[in-house]
Structure 1
Amino acid sequence: MPVDADLAEHVARWVELFNARDLAGLAELYEADSVVVTRPGYLVTGEDQSAALAHLVGMGVPMKSVLRQAYTANDIALLVIDWSMEGTGPDGREVGLSGTATDVVRRSADGRWRYVIDNPSGVVT
Structure 2
Amino acid sequence: MIDAYYEKNAVIAESPGKTAQGATLKSALEPYFALNGKISGATRHTLINEDIALFILDWAVDYTDEKGNPAKYSGTSTDVVRKGADGIWCCMIDNPHNIK
- Shorter chain as normaliser: what TM range? 0.7 to 0.9
Return the structure number with greater helix share: 1
User: TM-score normalised to the size of structure 2?
Assistant: 0.86
User: CA RMSD of the aligned region, Å?
Assistant: 1.7
- Distance between the aligned counterparts of 1:28 and 1:63, measured in 2? 15
Structure 1: which 5+ runs fail to align? 1-24
Q: Match for residue 19 of structure 1?
A: none
TM-score, length basis structure 1: 0.70
TM alignment of 1:53-68, pairs within 5 A: 53-68=29-44
Counterpart for residue 88 of structure 1: 64
Q: Which position in structure 1 is the counterpart of 2:46? A: 70
* 1:42 pairs with one of 2, 15, 18: 18
Residues 1-125 of structure 1 correspond to what in structure 2 (within 5 A)?
25-89=1-65, 91-92=66-67, 94=69, 95-124=71-100
Q: Distance in 2 between matches of 1:39 and 1:88?
A: 23
Aligned residue-pair number: 99
Structure 2 stretches lacking a partner, 5+ long: none
1:48 and 1:26 map into 2 onto residues whose CA distance is 12
Tell me the percent identity.
32
Q: Return the alpha-carbon distance in structure 1 between the equivalents of residues 53 and 86 of structure 2.
A: 16
Moved over 3 A (4+): 91-95
Higher strand share: 2
